[in-house]
Structure 1
Amino acid sequence: MSNLLLPSATLEQKQPIYKIESDCLISKNGDVTVAFRLNLPEIYTLAQHDYEALHSAFVKAVRLLPNHTVVHKQDWFVEDKYTASFEEEATMLSHAYERNFNERPFLNHYCYLFLTKTPSSRENWTSLSTLLSRSKIVPKEMMNEKLLSSFFNAVGQFVRVLSDAGIGFTQLTDEELTGTEKKTGLLEKYLSLNMSDVAPMTDLDFTQGLKVGHKICQCYSLGNLDDLPMALSTSARHSNLSTDYTNFFVGFSSPVGLSLNCNHLYNQYLFVDDPAKTLKTFEKKRDNLNALSLYSRQNAINKEFYDQYLNEAHSEQKLPVRAHANVFAWTEREAELKELRERVGGGITLMGCKARENTVDIGALFWAGIPGNAGDFPSEETFYTFAEPACCLWSVETNYRNSSSPFGIKLSDRITGKPVHVDISDEPRTKGIIANRNKFVLGGSGSGKSFFTNGMVRQYHEQGSHVLIVDTGNSYKGLCELRKGVYFTYEEKKPISFNPFFVVGSPDVEKRLSLHNLLVMLWKRENEDVSQSEYVSISSALTQYYQWLAANTDIQASFNTFYEFLQGPFKSYLDTEKVREQDFDMHNFLYVLKPYYRGGEYDYLLNSEQQLDLTRESFIVFEIDNIKDHPILFPVVTLVIMDTFLQKMRQLEGVRKMILIEEAWKAIATPAMADYLKYLFKTVRKFQGEAVVVTQEVKDILDNPVVKDTIITQSDCMILLDLRKFMGKFDEIQEVLALSEKQKALVLSINQDRRQNVRYNEVYIGLGTTVATVYGVEVSKEEYVTYTTEQAEKIVLFNKVKSGLSMEAAIQSYAQELREAG
């Protein structure tokens, strides 16, 4: 028996696109297609009502289209790998982060929409009518100008309706469709199933199913009503991300979108024929079935179906359409075909649909999927329905997107852990999503608050921000040393020490006022008033002190020299001015301040020998855990903190600045600090700054008026970590934080469906009232050992530093040990 050689043809002979002109595809059947790239909402960010709103917009847009129009939505989900960015000026931790994620696999999503106007109806157009099957191709006459003008007007309205619903549209140009000498166009990409910009052309083999080059394709289609569930919905409950208290929703077609982890295309077709003609045909079929209903129960049932369809079309003014959806999946290894079938079939089954593998018409379906060739779609693969259920099949979600702003932090998406660049300060403020950059961070013990904030402040500092941190628990010690910052803490052998009197140049009004408040606090009790004469005397002392220092350049500014100035030159000045003791008791003033002078109990506190200009130091940590209950030290440190950040606000124009206060209830224990926080949260935005408060005590936000009424209301960025341990109080938390039901579902989905064998946490970031997303917080081993708050791990790291290694070398050494340990 001899082998038969099947006839072959070149793609140039068979390809259906006649020409591309004015950014439109014109087929050899005379069809005109306008092509768009769509920008869809990010996955896991929409609530049920958001899906319903999008669906309503889809239906409204479809109803604007003229008769004999085909809507073809094509979603590509292509396996890709994250490409690391190794910039020469990047820090060791940035390099470590990029190395950790380099070549991380993920599904890249590309979404296209093709609106095709056909010259006439194609409801009887079969797979044998396609250009692929015909031996001769004769270009038809193109449609007249009036029809085209009407079509383009409808396209403009279609785009406007969906743009208003939040979907981004970019019309594809001639070059993007056909390609250039250096870049492959969309037509070639489709015919090679390769989204690379340099995709080579490959052979198409239709002899046994479909092979595109080395890619073996499988096709599953939804082309019959029997394939669909009894009812279609706009969204579906994601069981793994839902809880007993919340329902988490994803799009109805999500199981064949990003959740289907393989190379695949998801094609969605909607055919707007002539509605009057369609209904007239159905009326005739109904009448025929009615006449035959006595002879067959099936005829009676079908007659009822047509009755129901016609009644709904007329009474609710619904638009009759034909629809189809299919999934093209491919692999280059035959051994993977079984798993591929199971994955695709499982995804379709999760939608409540029947997974019907299409082998006979796979070539015709692939050919109709060519951009601009949807008019060639075989009608036997479509089913009649209305626009509403047809649009339920449309995919409406995409990957997490990178912010367009150059400033931001690196987080991860929830599906694969791919790095995502997120700006939670500048871009949302520019877009009007938030009015200020302030942040409120809440999470239970062990939820990863300090870990997240370590990463955030590190990346802010690397991008030029000044960072001041009020810490409890040494959470930032490693990072501070690595960033060569200034770390203030209290130890018996090395007590905390400042020099608030040191300034570069002359002190400004703010600095003098800060020192004035410090001296008053050291002198007077909280319930004691300061008279006008005492106020004037202290102000005069400060002014004359800095004049005295300017005249005596060999004398260093400190509390010691200020005290000596009071004893000498200023006392003489008071005697000359004959200031009475009842107006200013100099003896009492010196006596009360003596413990802070040389040889006194607290002589270390205000006389640091380090001549640090804290205004110019870009990374400062005040660790206050050991002094938070001290009646003398804590108020002084509080004032120094307030003074330091105020100076930064006033003096560092054009420089981003951040103050981060860990465990807020300790820092706002004094009335002075509470008032400062109120002032700070309301004004810091005017100075290119942001205030961040971190707490793990839910009681703080429920009971503390400063937190509830000032910090939360003035924080447009809400950062929440795992709060499931507070489930019983969540209604109260939801009310105080003003979380919507959608935001509540997002918060309670944190860490619910984590990827296996990967160490990471998740974090909710809410911006204003409209934007809310959950991200992964996954880092490299180097970052982990830098940020860790586990005591045993911190001891190992700092022991390496004590042995003589630099902090950077110690981090790298410890990280390597963790990698080797597995």
Structure 2
Amino acid sequence: MAQNRKRAFEGLYSQLEETDGHAVLFSARGDPSVIFEMANPVQQLCTDSEQYLRFQDVLSNLVQTLGEGYALQKQDIFCKQSYHHDVPEDAEFLTRSYFRYFEGREFTEIRTYLVITQEAQRGQFVQYDPKKWTEFHAKVSKAEDILNEKHIRHRRLAKEEVDEYCHRFMAFRFRHGPFSMTNFKASDEYLKVGGRVVRSYPLVDIDEINLPSRIKPYTQASVNGYPIATDLFSFLTSVPHADCVVYNQVVQIPGQRKLLRKLQAKAKRHGSMPDPSNRIAKADIEKVLERLAVDSSLLVYANFNILVSCPADKVTPVTSYLETKLYGCGIMPSRTAYNQLELFTDSFPGNAYAFNPDYDLFLTLSDAALCFFFKEHLKESEDTPLTTYYTDRQGLPVCIDITGKEGKVKMTDNANFFCIGPSGSGKSFHMNSVVRQLLEQQTDVVMVDTGDSYEGICGYYGGTYISYSKEKPISMNPFKVTAEEYRLNFGEKKNFLKSLVFLIFKGSAFPSKIEDMIVNQTLVEYYDAYFHPFEKFTEKQRAELRQKLLVDAKMDDDYEKYNHEMEDIDRLINAKDSPEVPESRALLLPSEVRRMKLVRQCRSLMALMRDKAASESEREHAAHIVEKYRRELYENTMLVKIDRQIDRMEEQKRRLKVRELSFNSYYEFAVERIPQITSLEKITFDIHNFAAILKQFYRGGELETTLNADLDVDLFNECFIVFEIDKIKDDPVLFPIVVLIIMDVFLQKMRIKKGRKALIIEEAWKAIASPTMAEYIKYLYKTVRKFHGIAGVVTQELNDVIDSPIVKEAIINNSDVKILLDQSKFKDRYEQIAAILGLTPVQRQQIFTINALDNHEGRSYFKEVWICRGQHSDVYGVEEAPECYWAYTTERTEKEALKTYLRHYGTVQEAITRIEADRKKAGSPKYLEFARQVNQHQKVMSLWES
């Protein structure tokens, strides 16, 4: 027996050589093979059936390209591994705790190898044919080109790697790190390898071939009541009790003409004996022949074999599990696989032509055979400088670029987001995790909260926590603008202030166009008066005003007024006395000088008209000129009035001084200036209501400090600021105003500071979701993108999305990152929601797999979240270390317990370390249960007995 095993293993390969920099493995039969390590392109639980079909096309293309005399062997290795992540020594405490929590966690790794083998020409000996050798390398290069073209990650294995791969296969040890060989003992049931057994499960019994009559490259699994596209063999990642599973897939491409002639002859034989079974057999063969004639399928010999390593006493449950799962796919595996050693050796890489054609291979179409190829890979970490860690569906940490724009693969250029999660879905816990990781990667974060959800993490990072109260209101001066900001960015600032004024004045109602025009004008003139104090109009300004006012005057002109004015002009011309001339001619306006001149000329011409000595033509000419001068005098009379009006306007502007920027000074400016504007423009504006409503924010008003006290300049240097405004969330006036001015503080901070900035608004965003705010929200979302910023809103209810056009137009349409937590209770309304969010059918299926998988065993508290960046979407797990949980918790009882430890130990980090250590010492009760015990004693656990 030992001699047979020795021959079995020693005769597997004849040579491993490196030619032209490429490793080629020769089987004992002389068949050359090249081995690629590759990644299956379909991510597990992507729910997208099109991805399976695309990979099926790639495999079909590979088979067509290789052609007759070649075999394609694919091996997917599912091996248990232990998680490890190198953590820098200077990493933050919570980050170190996070990776320590996952250290050593067992997970199933998927590694995939693709082997291309050429069948050697042989007679009595293997014959070397230089043409076939050149063709082999050309075919391998073409196959590599196909993989490159379809963006399937792959690489050729070097000689040392091929050698290690073959040895690992023989030892059946694919766990990372060193490995050793051990004794083999073969039986009809399995191979005994040290303390484990390796059993082969051929999928097809050649005598029966119990396969489904119709096959697709994927199957439909029901998750949460929805059909989800998955791989036929996705269950191989979770075979119980198995430490390693190898799924060996082989297709051999024989000579097609010879096989076709055999099939045609067989069809004739069946036709010559016209009984029912022969008629069915003939019809089946004819269908195959017709299929071969119509499309590009090939006839192939195939073998599919699952090799499982497990403890000897677990073979029966493993066998039962695999048979049950295969039955679900319509496959009845072979029950007569007594040649275990032969199946094992034939499954070695590069041994595709070692199978016995009498009982190991079955003939089928290439497209059908390729449906049985495994096509999935597990989630992988992204190549990105900004890392946000989640877990994959089996609990393994993976990092993604939450912005979608900073990673190697650019998914979007807009990092703005919205997050929707009903109460209890883990929304705040998730956002705490995201904020922690943003802060640790030098991101300035400003948060607006209504529920103390971020008090813990703010305290841990030593951020600024500003809680609004009547005794200590949040005070800011949004009207304060620097000279540089006025010069470079006044348009944006003016629009913000206009939104603020109308939020106070009109609430959620739309301002009229006249109201919008007047408030806009007051803001422009207010800042102009501060930065460019007015002395007088220039000649150019006077000329422009004169022209404008003249047009306005003509607009108001009518026939009766014209006749009245002309009568006055005629009386002036016919008057016997001369026009009054001031002592100093310099005091006259130019228009007044011209007027006096025209009157004198008209009087001379009138005298000529009365002169009997004058000819008829002279009198007619004089009358014509007099009429012309009368019109000019009419115009001149208007100009005199306009010039005097301009003088009054000049005096008004000179009186409107702005010495400091604040709401107080704007209020004083506006209530004086608006009546002047309405009088000049002859329009109406409810100045009394305007003044009365805004007055509460003016001097002596109840809310004076809200808009008039400068914000602490140190806030601009703070990396983490939380504005907690829960105490005013029911104040219809104050709440939206405070939210709006906090947003403006963020914009100022964003423009001043370099680096990444994030503004995250929890439920407070509803306060500003009004028609008057829509344009400002759009402006905010578009502006932050220019300054390496992120703006995000977080809400509980999908109704907010459905019912608010402001949310849709201003927030959703300007957010390329969508984050949804468990939405199962809304599935009856999801057609409407999906249309608003622009979700594809695949994305809808992904969303309804949230928290619906059987993946909770061996894991602590976690919730799943769906994240979409541009068109890239997936479901991730939010699972954190206990230390992170204590830092994030929003449960009041747990927060109070942590504060007890904080008072005793002095620092947040030490308090978290000690409370978690004590919880474990107490037998690891639930967090809430242990917190109640701490609160009951009002002291740390070490003092409970004293």
Q: Relative to structure 1, is the Cα distance of residues 511 and 811 closer, same or farther in structure 2, using a 3 angstrom cutoff? A: farther
Distance 2:435 2:174 in 1: 37
374-383 vs 811-820, which moves further: 811-820
Preserved CA contact (<8 Å) 1:192 1:213: no
Q: Relative to structure 1, is the Cα distance of residues 212 and 677 closer, same or farther in structure 2, using a 3 angstrom cutoff? A: same
1:117-196, aligned counterparts within 5 Å? Answer: 117-120=118-121, 140-144=126-130, 146-178=131-163, 185-196=164-175
Q: Relative to structure 1, is the Cα distance of residues 139 and 708 closer, same or farther in structure 2, using a 3 angstrom cutoff? A: farther
2:365 equivalent to 1:393? no
| Partner-residue secondary structure (3-state), 1:226 | coil
| Partner-residue secondary structure (3-state), 1:50 | helix
2:448 equivalent to 1:487? no
Aligned to 1:806: 907
Aligned to 2:341: 363
Name which one, 1 or 2, has greater alpha-carbon Rg. Answer: 2
59-68 vs 491-500, which moves further: 491-500
Number of aligned positions between the proteins? 766
Q: Give CA deviations for 1:547-597 in whole Å, capped at 9, x if unaligned.
A: xxxxxxxxxxxxxxx999689xx99xx9xxx9999599xxx9999999768
2:815 equivalent to 1:715? yes
Aligned to 2:446: 468
The counterpart of 1:773, out of the listed 874, 878, 885, is 874
Distance 2:339 2:405 in 1: 48
Aligned to 1:690: 790
Q: Relative to structure 1, is the Cα distance of residues 773 and 358 closer, same or farther in structure 2, using a 3 angstrom cutoff? A: farther
2:831 equivalent to 1:731? yes
Aligned to 1:129: none
Preserved CA contact (<8 Å) 1:242 1:248: no
Q: Give CA deviations for 1:775-817 in whole Å, capped at 9, x if unaligned.
A: 1111122222332333433343345546674333343344445
Aligned to 2:925: 821
Q: Relative to structure 1, is the Cα distance of residues 322 and 83 closer, same or farther in structure 2, using a 3 angstrom cutoff? A: same
Aligned to 1:126: none
Aligned to 2:111: 110
User: Normalising by the residue count of structure 1, what TM-score does the alignment of the two structures yield?
Assistant: 0.83
Q: Relative to structure 1, is the Cα distance of residues 497 and 210 closer, same or farther in structure 2, using a 3 angstrom cutoff? A: same
Letter in 2 for 1:660: I
| Partner-residue secondary structure (3-state), 1:821 | coil
149-158 vs 725-734, which moves further: 149-158
Aligned to 2:561: none
The counterpart of 2:221, out of the listed 228, 235, 238, is 238
Preserved CA contact (<8 Å) 1:518 1:636: no
The counterpart of 1:329, out of the listed 308, 323, 326, is 308
Preserved CA contact (<8 Å) 2:401 2:407: no
Q: Give CA deviations for 1:310-364 in whole Å, capped at 9, x if unaligned.
A: 3433354531111110110012x32233333233333333322113256432222
Letter in 1 for 2:258: K
Distance 2:818 2:203 in 1: 42
Aligned to 1:557: none
2:884 equivalent to 1:783? yes
- Once the two structures are TM-superposed, the CA of residue 501 in structure 1 deviates from its matched residue by 8.5
| Partner-residue secondary structure (3-state), 1:376 | coil
Letter in 2 for 1:783: C
Preserved CA contact (<8 Å) 1:206 1:363: no
Distance 2:317 2:520 in 1: 85
The counterpart of 1:679, out of the listed 779, 785, 788, is 779
Distance 1:259 1:336 in 2: 11
Aligned to 1:312: 291
- Once the two structures are TM-superposed, the CA of residue 695 in structure 1 deviates from its matched residue by 1.8
What residue ranges of structure 2 are gaps of 5+ in the alignment? 534-656, 679-688, 927-946
Letter in 2 for 1:745: Q
Distance 2:336 2:745 in 1: 70
Preserved CA contact (<8 Å) 2:254 2:300: yes
Preserved CA contact (<8 Å) 2:445 2:758: yes
Distance 2:715 2:799 in 1: 34
12-21 vs 698-707, which moves further: 12-21
95-104 vs 20-29, which moves further: 20-29
- Once the two structures are TM-superposed, the CA of residue 15 in structure 1 deviates from its matched residue by 3.6
Q: Relative to structure 1, is the Cα distance of residues 509 and 491 closer, same or farther in structure 2, using a 3 angstrom cutoff? A: same
Aligned to 1:660: 760
1:267-666, aligned counterparts within 5 Å? Answer: 267-290=248-271, 293=273, 302-316=281-295, 318-331=297-310, 333-357=311-335, 359-379=337-357, 380-414=359-393, 416-426=394-404, 430-498=408-476, 509=487, 525-526=505-506, 530=518, 534-535=522-523, 538-539=526-527, 543=531, 601-602=702-703, 604-605=705-706, 611-630=712-731, 633-634=734-735, 636-653=737-754, 655-663=755-763, 665-666=765-766
Preserved CA contact (<8 Å) 1:750 1:764: yes
Q: Give CA deviations for 1:234-291 in whole Å, capped at 9, x if unaligned.
A: 211212x142xx3111011222345667211001111101011111222334444555
Letter in 2 for 1:755: N
2:186 equivalent to 1:226? no
The counterpart of 2:236, out of the listed 256, 269, 281, is 256
- Once the two structures are TM-superposed, the CA of residue 205 in structure 1 deviates from its matched residue by 2.4
Preserved CA contact (<8 Å) 2:448 2:739: no
| Partner-residue secondary structure (3-state), 1:613 | helix
Q: Relative to structure 1, is the Cα distance of residues 201 and 798 closer, same or farther in structure 2, using a 3 angstrom cutoff? A: closer
User: Normalising by the residue count of structure 2, what TM-score does the alignment of the two structures yield?
Assistant: 0.73
| Partner-residue secondary structure (3-state), 2:327 | helix
Q: Give CA deviations for 1:53-108 in whole Å, capped at 9, x if unaligned.
A: 32233223312222111110000000111114333222222122122212111101
Aligned to 2:82: 81
The RMSD of aligned alpha carbons is 4.0
| Partner-residue secondary structure (3-state), 1:713 | helix
Q: Relative to structure 1, is the Cα distance of residues 717 and 202 closer, same or farther in structure 2, using a 3 angstrom cutoff? A: same
| Partner-residue secondary structure (3-state), 1:648 | helix
Distance 2:383 2:337 in 1: 43
The counterpart of 1:760, out of the listed 854, 862, 870, is 862
Letter in 2 for 1:625: D
- Once the two structures are TM-superposed, the CA of residue 112 in structure 1 deviates from its matched residue by 0.6
Preserved CA contact (<8 Å) 1:53 1:165: no
Preserved CA contact (<8 Å) 1:499 1:611: no
- Once the two structures are TM-superposed, the CA of residue 401 in structure 1 deviates from its matched residue by 0.7
- Once the two structures are TM-superposed, the CA of residue 719 in structure 1 deviates from its matched residue by 1.1
Preserved CA contact (<8 Å) 2:483 2:531: no
Distance 2:809 2:660 in 1: 44
Q: Relative to structure 1, is the Cα distance of residues 601 and 114 closer, same or farther in structure 2, using a 3 angstrom cutoff? A: same
Preserved CA contact (<8 Å) 2:9 2:345: no
Preserved CA contact (<8 Å) 1:256 1:347: no
Distance 1:351 1:813 in 2: 52
Q: Relative to structure 1, is the Cα distance of residues 344 and 607 closer, same or farther in structure 2, using a 3 angstrom cutoff? A: same
- Once the two structures are TM-superposed, the CA of residue 656 in structure 1 deviates from its matched residue by 1.3
Letter in 1 for 2:822: D
Aligned to 2:93: 92
Distance 1:479 1:229 in 2: 56
- Once the two structures are TM-superposed, the CA of residue 18 in structure 1 deviates from its matched residue by 1.1
- Once the two structures are TM-superposed, the CA of residue 507 in structure 1 deviates from its matched residue by 6.6
Distance 1:730 1:358 in 2: 50
- Once the two structures are TM-superposed, the CA of residue 16 in structure 1 deviates from its matched residue by 0.8
Letter in 1 for 2:301: R
Q: Give CA deviations for 1:138-184 in whole Å, capped at 9, x if unaligned.
A: 9733332x333334433344344455445322222223223xxxxxx
Distance 2:463 2:530 in 1: 29
Distance 1:318 1:363 in 2: 33
Preserved CA contact (<8 Å) 2:448 2:760: yes
Distance 1:566 1:75 in 2: 70
Distance 2:365 2:661 in 1: 90
Preserved CA contact (<8 Å) 1:614 1:644: no
| Partner-residue secondary structure (3-state), 2:353 | helix
